Amino acid sequence: MRNIKVILQYEGTKYQGWQKQEGTEHTIQGKLEALLTKMCGDKVEVHGSGRTDAGVHALCQVANFHIDTDKTVEEIMEYMNNYLPEDIAVIHIQEAAPRFHSRLNAKGKTYCYRVLNSKIPHIFDRRYVHEVREVLDVAAMEEAAKLLCGTHDYKAFTSNKKGKKQAVRTVESIDIEKVNDEIRFTFKGNGFLYHMVRIMMGTLLEVGMHKREAAQTTALIASKDRKEAGMLVPAKGLTLVEVHYS
């Protein structure tokens, strides 16, 4: 069996996230597996580097699958792009080492969250940005972002209520860039918990709106209490930008 690695782009607007689910055909993994199974006649399981939530986009999602086919990688890519929906595309394909696994071998990820900070809507960006009309204090958000970085137990920043999953992660950097009416928040880390980036974003926006103090961020992390953190912002502003491997 050949191990094939692909890099995907998708607009997550109409999908219920990456992971296939019973009762819906609208998942990225489900679309890929159905297509590849049809192509080769045998069931194909697709592994992604991580599970993007419903409505989250990807510029560079990495996946791999084992497949028995005589098609070249170029022919596999052509077949996939011919039959995938117009909001999913394979942008790179290659033969991978037999033991390569897109999730288990990943060393980190980079996400970008886009905020439109304007009273005037941007019609053509509406699916990719979260609109905030209140004036945001960028300096205060930068101060809070620095305190969010490091290696910590981030239980306060996850919607996972089971509480059994290990929550220590390393956030290497949170860069904030203002481009005209848009503010872009770039998160880089070794891994992120369920809803972690979106809750961090909600916390940063509340700091930017002066609803909480930046200096309180350290105590918030130490609390390990989801109720102490900020709102969960909409998924549409979030994009998986890159998956990092050694």
Residue 25: which CATH number?
3.30.70.580
Q: Within this chain, do residues 131 and 180 fall inside the same structural domain, yes or no? A: yes
pLDDT at 235 over 90: yes
Q: What is the mean pLDDT of the segment spanning 208-225? A: 97
**What is the structure's pLDDT at 166?**
87
Q: Are residues 48 and 164 in the same domain?
A: no
Q: Looking at the domain assignment, is residue 53 inside a domain?
A: yes
Do 206 and 143 lie in a common domain? yes
Cα 171–Cα 174–Cα 178 angle in degrees, nearest 5: 170
Going by pLDDT thresholds of 50, 70 and 90, the confidence category of residue 163 is: low
Position 217 in a domain: yes
Task: Tell me the per-residue pLDDT of 187-199, one tens digit each, with 9 for 90 and over.
Answer: 999 999 999 999 9
The answer to whether residues 237 and 56 touch, using CB atoms and an 8 Å cutoff, is: no
In a domain, 49, yes or no: yes
Clarify whether 125 is annotated catalytic: no
Domain of residue 82: give its range: 2-95
Structural domain contains residue 88: yes
Assess whether 135 and 205 both reside in one domain: yes
**What pLDDT, in 10s, does the model give residues 61-100?**
999 999 999 999 999 999 999 999 999 999 999 999 999 9
- Choosing from 42, 53, 153, 181, the catalytic residue is 53
Local confidence band at 204 (pLDDT 50, 70, 90 cut-offs): very high
Q: Sign of the CA dihedral 22, 27, 32, 38?
A: positive
Tokens at 86, concatenated? 């117009």
Considering the chain, what percentage of its residues have pLDDT values greater than 70? 99
At residue 23 the predicted structure's pLDDT band, cuts being 50, 70 and 90, is confident
